[in-house]
A and B are shown apart, each in its own frame.
Chain A
Amino acid sequence: EVQLVESGGGLVQPGRSLRLSCAASGFTFDDYGMHWVRQAPGKGLEWVAGLTWNSGNIGYADSVRGRFSITRDNAKKSLFLQMNSLRPEDTALYYCAKQYYRGAFDIWGQGTRVTVSS
């Protein structure tokens, strides 16, 4: 079964760091680009960061550039999001997603919740 499972979310104080993980199974992980997308409570979807299959091309949303870092370990079929200098506005459900055709995301995890609050 094709699956993405996120972990690492939780409650963290402003200014602190958190590292999210996404474990992939059921497909050839290193064939595909991977992405993080977040959704603040009651709000829409926001693309956060993405990278190509070999990490050769990486991009970030303006809202997180310089604070977040996306990486992958193809041997472990895992995607990561290192989040530093967290702000209350980073509070959201964070999804990892597999890239399919061009930029479409065909497989999504169930998300891991991040709450930034003192």
Chain B
Amino acid sequence: EIVLTQSPGTLSLSPGEGATLSCRASQSVLSDYLDWYQQKPGQAPRLLIFGTSSRATGIPDRFRGSGSGTDFTLTITRLEPEDFAVYYCQHYDPSPPQGTFGQGTKLEIK
């Protein structure tokens, strides 16, 4: 079973700064199956990045995903006030269907 470990647990930054969020897998995973979500309080999660580096519909280009093997990164350049939220990485194994989420990184306003 793959375990995803996100770091840091909490990241305190100011609007306009850049953010780097890490997701480390306990074993190598296929890049096609690593995704990132944003969740704000009281809302359902929203897909940000799929297949490691592709932005979902409507996601601004200040969000960038990268990585391979066991190490994946979500980078947010020039933080906007609406970017402060909790971010989760997810790995999916298709056969049989099996999903795994990281524990989340809370991005808070400094």
Contacts and interface: CB of A to CB of B under 8 A. Distances in A.
Which DSSP category, helix, strand, loop or mixed, fits chain B's interface?
A: strand
A100 B54 CA distance: 12
Interface of B: 1, 32-33, 35, 37, 39, 44-47, 50-51, 54, 56-57, 86, 88, 90-104
Contact of A59 (B54, B88, B96): B96
A47 B86 CA distance: 17
A17 interface: no
Nearest to A110: B44
Q: Which of A57, A62, A103 has the most CB of B within 10 A?
A: A103
A101 B54 contact: yes
Contacts of B57: 106
- Which 10 A-B pairs have CB atoms at the shortest separation, nearest pair first? A103-B92, A47-B99, A59-B97, A104-B50, A50-B97, A59-B96, A108-B44, A104-B35, A45-B101, A44-B104
Contacts of B39: 45
Contact of B88 (A33, A45, A95): A45
Contacts of B37: 45, 105
Interface of A: 33, 35, 37, 44-47, 49-52, 57-59, 61-62, 95, 100-106, 108-111
A60 to B, nearest CB: 8
B99 A100 contact: no
Given A44-B104, A45-B104, A103-B91, A58 B47 contact: no
